[in-house]
Amino acid sequence: MEPVRTCIGCRSRAPRASLLRLVSRDSDLVVDHTATLPGRGAWLHPSIECFQDALRRRAFGRALRVTSPLDAKQLENRLNWLMDN
């Protein structure tokens, strides 16, 4: 049985292997490839649509329990690159 997580963008449940784990590091959103970085994590489908939904709903701050603004530009660039390739 594979672990299931909820995407913070579309709010649908999916296998953990199909989602990206995100953590907050110095007000930046960082992708945690190994899912071993310390701290609270949030899960997101690797799609620009889920990313935009999460931004629109301000889900990153709530999911990570961070009150300061988070810089998501690096994550957005990464998702755009993934979609182009």
Write out pLDDT tens, residues 56-69: 999 999 999 999 99
Burial of 47 (0-12, 13-18, 19+ CB in 10 A): middle
Distance of alpha carbon 6 from alpha carbon 68, whole angstroms: 23
Q: How confident is the model at residue 19, as a pLDDT?
A: 96
Q: How confident is the model at residue 1, as a pLDDT?
A: 86
Share of residues in the chain with pLDDT > 90 (%): 78
Higher-scoring residue by pLDDT: 85, 29: 29
* Residue 44 pLDDT exceeds 90: yes
For range 11-27, the mean pLDDT:
95
